[in-house]
Structure 1
């Protein structure tokens, strides 16, 4: 009986969370989107419209870590690779822009998102809601999989930060995603390849969070085994 009550409580919580997100997003815009991000988000979406995804493409979805990687087709020497990064974006922002993915048929999606969720949760003193980040990532995967069951999805683990408390939260989100044990995505965790003494390796970053060219080279080397046969 107690187990049943616990299951019902979990289901109610998940339903409430999804409903609350839909109401919030529909009535007040995307959570945590300030004016700069709203303008940048719309600008990037307009750019994406001029460079539509094609059937069989490889799409990287993410935030500034993806956007600042610039032309990923050149970086990976593969014209099918598309950059769908938006600086400052969160899991909520990605959930709102999945229609472009769902309306097309990319062969592969690589998803790296969530570090800005952590920043917002920390500075808004809402770290008790950290589990929402992994929950939203699983929801992103579920939506893509429901529309495109033949699209292969890779979820990339969050990278370390120069701040140890942010890194601890990133590792916890990675742990929660890894525990999902979903057949709908493959989890790739490169966190330790960027870490030294528990935080971001300063030789791989411009500011402790974003990658420099050496960092992107490590990123490329980690990803190549999963891209070479695509």
Structure 2
């Protein structure tokens, strides 16, 4: 009976700790253009991140579902320093709202892939009004990280193609705008063409026309490996 009470007390203590961690880590900022599903998923992912804190010197991949669905990047790259900070559905606005974690942990490198959901919102939900906002926000993200983390290497990855040609056209335009950012403080890695066939996403590399399958992630990994070699 005493043992059961002790176990129950530990369970209650764990639940209280988890709820406190969730509350302290969840952003209380109002992130623009989040539907109900994304608001919930965004907070769930932030709560998960709080249980697996970043450490100084980590290599952080931050972005949307393409990053999140890559799962355990440390296993994928056989490097325990590589961490996944992807949130499915996230936009450039969502990444802007959660940079505090990166700034407090001082990673050695940050790889950013974000913006495709800005395009989806622009076309389908029509809350975001300008395509140029995605590149403008990426400029804000990299500028802030560069100022707060001067010793961190910052990489921005170009948006990948989609099975819809009009989405791919907009993705290429965002990539062009990123490339034209004045005085960039990041390295731009554009693997768009490696995933395209006849102007859209190569169907052999995707699960649904947007997200990558195992073969697609392997190509992405191979493209990234040379840029990871010199990071300590």
**How far off its partner does 1:220 sit?**
0.3
CA contact (8 A) 2:57 2:108 kept: yes
User: What is aligned with 2:209?
Assistant: 208
User: What is aligned with 1:89?
Assistant: 90
Give runs of aligned pairs for residues 1-230 of structure 1, distance below 5 A: 29-125=30-126, 129-230=130-231
**How far off its partner does 1:31 sit?**
1.6
**How far off its partner does 1:88 sit?**
0.3
Structure 2 CA distance for aligned equivalents of residues 88 and 225 of structure 1 = 28
Structure 2 CA distance for aligned equivalents of residues 159 and 181 of structure 1 = 22
**How far off its partner does 1:183 sit?**
4.2
**How far off its partner does 1:169 sit?**
0.3
Structure 2 CA distance for aligned equivalents of residues 191 and 228 of structure 1 = 22
Q: Secondary structure at the match of 1:103?
A: helix
Q: Structure 1 pair 51/26, CA: closer, same or farther in 2 (3 Å)? A: closer
Structure 1 CA distance for aligned equivalents of residues 147 and 179 of structure 2 = 20
Q: Structure 1 pair 183/138, CA: closer, same or farther in 2 (3 Å)? A: closer
Structure 1 CA distance for aligned equivalents of residues 35 and 143 of structure 2 = 27
**How far off its partner does 1:182 sit?**
3.0
Structure 2 CA distance for aligned equivalents of residues 45 and 127 of structure 1 = 24
Structure 2 CA distance for aligned equivalents of residues 215 and 181 of structure 1 = 31
Structure 2 CA distance for aligned equivalents of residues 190 and 150 of structure 1 = 25
**How far off its partner does 1:126 sit?**
6.1
Structure 1 CA distance for aligned equivalents of residues 128 and 179 of structure 2 = 20
**How far off its partner does 1:146 sit?**
1.1
Aligned length: 205
Report the more deviating stretch, 68-77 or 141-150.
141-150
Runs of 4+ in structure 1 off by over 4 angstroms are none
Structure 2 CA distance for aligned equivalents of residues 172 and 128 of structure 1 = 15
User: What is aligned with 1:9?
Assistant: none
- How big is the alpha-carbon RMSD for the aligned residues of Structure 1 and Structure 2? 1.5
Q: Structure 1 pair 26/78, CA: closer, same or farther in 2 (3 Å)? A: closer
Q: Secondary structure at the match of 2:83?
A: strand
Q: Secondary structure at the match of 2:112?
A: strand
Structure 2 CA distance for aligned equivalents of residues 128 and 45 of structure 1 = 27
- Provide the TM-score with structure 1 as the length reference: 0.86
- Cα deviations by residue, 1:63-100 (Å, 9 ceiling, x for unpaired): 00000000000000100000000000000000000000
